[in-house]
Each structure stands twice: as structure tokens, then as C-alpha cells.
A and B are shown apart, each in its own frame.
Chain A
Amino acid sequence: MILLALILILLSMLACLWRLRRPTIAADRVIALDVISFQAMGALVGFSLLDNSPLALEAALAIALVGFLSTLALTRLLSSSPPSESS
């Protein structure tokens, strides 16, 4: 059952990777990366359920921190560089 949920997470991660490859605007990549970081947290929690070990939960908390900071940094980067420097 946990393996089935992990396979679902893998499929949705592949969907996010597809959107990362084919965005319509640049912010789509930031959205896809944000969702992928949440999915990595879910996969780590699934590994901790499979192994009966709480070690992966600490990695999930670290992924949450890194995902939030990277999302904020990428949005700052996108909003500080306009698409064209004409005006």
C-alpha cells in the first residue's frame, strides 16, 4: 500500500518534470520545482514508513527548508530581471 503511494508520487514527480521541461512562462518552472520539493518530502516520509526509521523525517524537514528558500530565491531572481531591458 505504501509502495503504491510511492509509485503515485513517482508518477506525479514525472508530470512535474514534464512541466519543468515545457513551461509557458518562466514562473512555471518555479512552480514545478516547489511541487517537486513537496513530493520529495512525501517520498522521504514514505521511506521512513517502509524502514520503520525516523531518520528520513529529518531529511524531509531539511528538504522543506531548502525548498522554501530556493523558491523565494528564484522568485526574487525572476522579478529582479525583467524579460527585456528596453525601458
Chain B
Amino acid sequence: MTTAAAVRTAATREAYGPTLVKLADAGVDLVALDADLAASTGGDKLGRAHPDRWYTVGAAEANMIGMAAGLAAAGKVVYAASFAVFLPGHCFDQIRVSIAQPKLNVKLIASHGGVSVGEDGASAQAVEDLALMTSLANMRVVVPADVVETELALTAAAYSDGPIYIRMGRPKIPVIHDERHEFRIGKAHLARPGDDVTVVACGLLVGAAIEAADALAAEGVSVRVLNMSTIKPLDEAALAAAAAETGAIVTAEEHSVIGGLGGAVARWLALNAPVPMEQVGVQDRFGESGAWTQLLERHGLTARGVGDAVRRVLARKA
């Protein structure tokens, strides 16, 4: 399922342009907007294939969101893309009032999520976007684990009416899925079976969690890995089963420990199935410049960081 394909690497954002072109070729009545970052999001590929379906609005994210809302209200399937620091960071109120509240059919595509942006530093590293977006009623939030899942998520969004936020990343990371992978909005994917503890991960931490699970297996620890690529709505059935069957949870994400996947899982567990839980994430701090791999190390967003959290939670497990 995963090891054979793991030699290939790709950035999740690489899925964006080609998927838009496929959707437009397939007859989806879509319009995509960029805000002067098309070279990084890849949205301009749609513009070359279907010039009347892609527009860059300049470095003006607030206006892009409003335009997206207007297009959606006229029946278009709309994709609006930028960096995760700007979308939602530059235009949260526009998303709130113009898209989420009226529940318009806009797909918010945020590239360059998390600290793995690297050298651009703190201002460019979104570690709060999931907190902002999960806080909005009517908004769904997805963080795909690799390029394969990103294409599936972008495609599923086209055929699922309503607002959705999909976060992509900058660096090339291992491709952990092949063409048999199935993705459904709101459905967790069992990346590794296991009985002693469950790691609930999203984004590039899914690959790290799988690596950790493999390492811990050698120590006799059976780690379940759930790819919770949809953070909202959470797959509550998968969480309930994980809590009941493994009795300990670790969340892992490239985001602040406040308000993202860990926050959502902690809330659900506290209300429904309290079991020991640990978090792998950014510890309420800003990022900084550095190579993306160095930054992942610094924040513990690695297989080793996941393994450490697993040991901590197992020590608390009754």
C-alpha cells in the first residue's frame, strides 16, 4: 500500500493545476482565481488550457474571495488559491461573511501550509490556518497527506457543493499512496492497523507517523495510524473505534497545537471517550527561517517526534 510507492516524492501542491485542467476538460463549470501566486500554486495551468476559466486578481486576496463568492452565486464551481498565510490570514472576514455564512460553493485552496515553507520564515509559515477555518460554521477542512490524496480531495470538492478549505504544502515529500487510494471527505483512512495506540495524523505527518509505526513495531508496540485528512467534519466513528480499541491517542500535524487537528480530536475525546492523548504540533510559537527539514526537526514534526509522543501516551495509558 505504501512502501512500494514511497520512493517517489512530490509536493502536494503539484496536484492543483493538473487537477483543475482535468476537471475543466471533464466539463465541470469551474472558474479558478489566483492572487499573484499562480507560479507557486500552479493554477495558471488552467489558464493556459482554458483561458476563460482562470483569472489572477493581483495581490488582493480580499477581493479574490468576494469575486469567488459572486462567481459561485452565479452557479460556478469556484477555486480560489493562495498561500495558507494569506488565505485565510489576509481574508478571514471575507471568507466568513461572503463564503461561509451564505454557504457558497467555493473551494479555498491554500498552498505553502505549515513550517515546511522553510527559508521564508515566520510571516510565511501558517500554523494557525486550520484553527481559523475549523472555527467557521459551514466550512469543511482537509489536509491531504500526499499528492495522490490531494488530487482526490480537489476532485471530490468539485462534486461536493459548499465551502471547503484544502491545505497543500510546498516541499516535495514522499508519495505514500498509489492510484488505488480512496478518499472521501469526512472519512479517515486506516494507514496502518494497530492495537496499542493510535496516531491520528494529517498532511506530511501521516508519512512520519507511518515511519514511526514501523520503527515502534520493531520494539513490539502496535501503532494504528489514522490519516485524518478531513479535520472537519471529523470521522467520529474512526475516532471512537481508535479510542475504544487502542485506548491512547496521539495527534500529529504541521500546525499549532491550539485549534487544529489536535484541538478537534481533544475536544471530541473529552466529550465522548476520554483516553490519554498527546499532541505533536507547533507549541504555540511562530516559525523562523531555515531549511524545511531543519524546521520539522526543530518542532518535532518527525517520525522521532511522533515516536516520543507515542511513548509518552503509553506511559499514561492505564
A and B held together in a complex: no
Binding site for A on B (CB under 8 A): none
Chain A residues with CB under 8 Å of chain B are none
